[in-house]
Amino acid sequence: MPSGQAEANDELVPDAELQRVLDDLRGPPRRIDAKYFYDARGSVLFEQITHLPEYYLTRCELEILQTRGEEIVSTVKSGAAMIELGAASSDKVRPLLEHLATPGVYVALDISEAALERVVAEFDRAFPELGLRPVQADFTAPIDLDEIRDSPQRVLFYPGSTIGNFDPHDAQAFLTRLREAHLRPGDLLLLGVDLQKDPAVLDAAYNDAQGVTAAFNKNVLRHLDARFGGDLDPEQFEHLAFYDPEKGCVEMHLRVREPHIAELGGDHFAFGLHETIHTESSWKYTRHHLRALGEQAGFFETGYWTDRRSWFGVWRFEVR
């Protein structure tokens, strides 16, 4: 599941955005962009997911960052700019900042204004000497980061395995765009990525016993109704998540319980029995595949760390 892209702005809906949503929902295949998981309720549900016993990703990544943080930032230069993509929580970047001898600028980038306000409040107390720059933006779109223009080194921190929500081709293209837009030779990318593992572990993580992930998945329909005007009924759908070992990918869908017609943004949609709407893909990588993806995007690997069970990996890449 993605993390850190929270609360799309519900005040003004551009026509082009609504058209994209309607086109996606028409299919084929029918789909909803995963960014619509994150209204206020979706953000709360995702935070609950990260504390579930089945959801290992956050715990494994924190284990790596807390125990190997000094090694991870050992090649970061004095006064460098640390840019976190999806800074909804300070828990992950904190162990890295604590090991910087001479901190420079920390750019907290997130789509959620509320999340940024929390980060600013926490970091003003914890790192009073740090230059803190909150930036409210969707980091999948072009961003102008004047805050890092004069920094001696730029470090992009992209945790949470959010890169796994892109298919590998799109992930490579996204990392290439980040490098071309924001990084120079010698700059760094710190990337947290979920690894391939026992399918039973993955199945449990995306189908938790308490049903929080199911509620999170179905909440996307409530968000679309609120944002665009409609009557998509979450109770007409059931949560479906499964791992495809050949692709190395977990897919989440909403499956129709009963045939019905629903409305969104002035358009009507006829849903057939057991038809599905694809809401998320979460790709899982091996070290070899992720290293190759980084190289194709213009980076080379200078460090790699895993948790004690090798369920999650943190990469340090440098720009060629």
Q: What is the DSSP string of 174-200?
A: HHHHHHHHH--TT-EEEEEEEB---HH
Sequential pLDDT tens for the chain (320 residues): 755 444 444 455 678 999 999 999 999 999 999 989 988 899 889 989 999 999 999 999 999 999 999 999 999 999 999 999 988 777 899 999 999 888 789 998 887 777 788 888 888 888 888 888 888 888 877 788 877 888 999 999 999 999 999 999 999 999 999 999 999 999 999 999 999 999 999 999 999 999 999 999 999 999 999 999 999 999 999 999 999 999 999 999 999 999 999 999 999 999 999 999 999 999 999 999 999 999 999 999 999 999 999 999 999 999 98
CB 72 within 8 A of CB 305: yes
Question: What's the first-to-final CA gap in the chain, in angstroms?
Answer: 30
Residues 7, 192, 172, 139: what is their CA dihedral angle, to the nearest 10 degrees? 30
pLDDT of residue 143: 80
**What pLDDT is stored for residue 9 in this prediction?**
44
pLDDT at 5: 47
Strand ranges inside 76-226, DSSP E: 81-85, 105-110, 131-136, 154-158, 188-194
- The domain limits of the chain are 1-320
User: What CATH class is the domain 1-320?
Assistant: alpha beta
| Residue in the block written with tokens 């790709």 | 283
Rounded to the nearest 10 degrees, how much is the dihedral formed by the CA atoms of 268, 274, 278, 281?
170
Q: What is the pLDDT of residue 25?
A: 98
